[in-house]
Structure 1
Amino acid sequence: MGVKNFLHELKLKVSPSRIFKAVTTDADDVLPKVAPGVFKGSKVIEGGSFGPGCVVERAVVGAPNFKFKVDDIDTGKCYIKYTELEGDRIGDKFEKVHHEVVTEPSGDGGCVIKFNSNYIAKGDTVPSDEDIKTHVEKSSAFYAAIAEYLVANPHVCA
C-alpha cells in the first residue's frame, strides 16, 4: 500500500472560527446553503454528536456520499484530525486519506488553513501527484465558496 504526504496552505478572508464552524460543527446547516447543487445534507451516523470517534456522512448530489471519521477535534484551537473513509475523492484509487487541519488567524482579519494529508492508496500503487492535485483543487474551491458565503452572510457562524 503506497502512502504519499501532502502539505497545503490556503488563505481566506474570513475569521478562523467562522470557517472552522462552517465545515465542522455547523456543516449540516451551512453546506446545503453554500452549494445546494452539490450537498444535500450532513449528519452524524455513528456516535452521539460531532466529536472524536463519530462518523459523519455528507450527502452529495450525483456522486457517492462522503463519509469520514473524526479522530480528534479542538474547536477552541480550530483544529481537526479526520479520516476520509468513502466518497468520490476516495474512489477506486485510495483506501483512505488522513487529514490534519489547523485554521489560524492571518493577521488581516482572515485566516490561513494548513492541511497535512496522508493519501493511502489501494494495493501497491503510490498516489500520483496529479491525483492529489485534483483533491487539493476541489478542496480549495470548496473552502473558497464557503468563505464567500460567510462574507456575504456575516450572521452565519458568528
Structure 2
Amino acid sequence: MGVFSFDDEFTANVAPARLFKAFVLDADNLFPKIAPQAAKSAETVEGNGGPGTVKKLTFPDGKYVKQKLDAVDLDNLSYSHSLIEGDVLSAELEKISHQTKFVASPDGGAIIKVNTKFYTIGDAPINEEKAKEGKEKAVGLFKLVEGYLVANPDAYN
C-alpha cells in the first residue's frame, strides 16, 4: 500500500467555532439545505454519531460515498474522517482520509488546515487530476457554508 499525503490551508471570514459547528457538527442537515447541487442526502448507516460512525452521502447524480468518522475533538475544533466506499474511490484507492482543524486567524476569521492522505492499493499512483478536483469541491463547500454563516450571523453561535 502506498500513502500520499497533502497539506492544504485556506481562510474564511467566520469564527472557527461557528464554522466547525456548521461544517462538522450539523453537516447532515446543512449541506442538503444550502448545497443541493452538491449533496442530496446524508444518512447514518452505522453508529451513534461519535467515532466509528459511518455515514452515506448521496449526490444529486445518484453517486454516493460512505465516510467513517475517525475522531472529533470539540475542544480543539478538529476532526478526522475517511472515505471508505463509493464513487470517489477508484480501483487503485483503498481509502482517502482527511484531518481538519479550524484555528482562529488574526482578523477574527478562521484558518482551515486540512491534511489529506490517499491510501493506494499496491504501488498504484494517485490520479492527481481527481485529487485536485476533490480539493476544489471541498473548498467550494467550505465557501458555501461560509457564505451561509455570513448571511445568517445568528446561526451556529
**For the residues of structure 1 that align with 2:143 and 2:92, how far apart are their CA atoms?**
26
Alignment match, 1:32: 32
Q: Decide whether the 8 Å contact of 1:57 with 1:68 is kept in 2.
A: yes
Q: Decide whether the 8 Å contact of 1:2 with 1:127 is kept in 2.
A: no
Alignment match, 1:84: 83
Deviations 1:2-39, CA, capped at 9 Å, x for gaps: 32110000111111112112222211221112112221
1:93 is displaced (CA, Å) by 4.0
**For the residues of structure 1 that align with 2:87 and 2:11, how far apart are their CA atoms?**
25
Give unmatched runs, 5+ long, in structure 2: none
The root-mean-square deviation of aligned C-alpha atoms, in Å, is 1.7
1:123 is displaced (CA, Å) by 4.1
Q: Decide whether the 8 Å contact of 1:99 with 1:117 is kept in 2.
A: yes
**For the residues of structure 2 that align with 1:89 and 1:11, how far apart are their CA atoms?**
25
Alignment match, 1:69: 68
Give the letter aligned to residue 42 of structure 1. Answer: A
Identity of aligned residues (%): 34
**For the residues of structure 1 that align with 2:91 and 2:37, how far apart are their CA atoms?**
24
Alignment match, 1:7: 7
**For the residues of structure 2 that align with 1:65 and 1:142, how far apart are their CA atoms?**
16
Give unmatched runs, 5+ long, in structure 1: none
TM-score where L is the length of structure 1: 0.90
**For the residues of structure 2 that align with 1:51 and 1:86, how far apart are their CA atoms?**
19
Alignment match, 2:121: 122
TM-score where L is the length of structure 2: 0.90
Q: Decide whether the 8 Å contact of 1:26 with 1:157 is kept in 2.
A: no
Alignment match, 1:145: 144
Q: 1:79 to 1:16 in 2, by over 3 A?
A: same
Deviations 1:72-126, CA, capped at 9 Å, x for gaps: 1112211101111123432444220111111101121210110111101234311
Alignment length, in residue pairs?
157
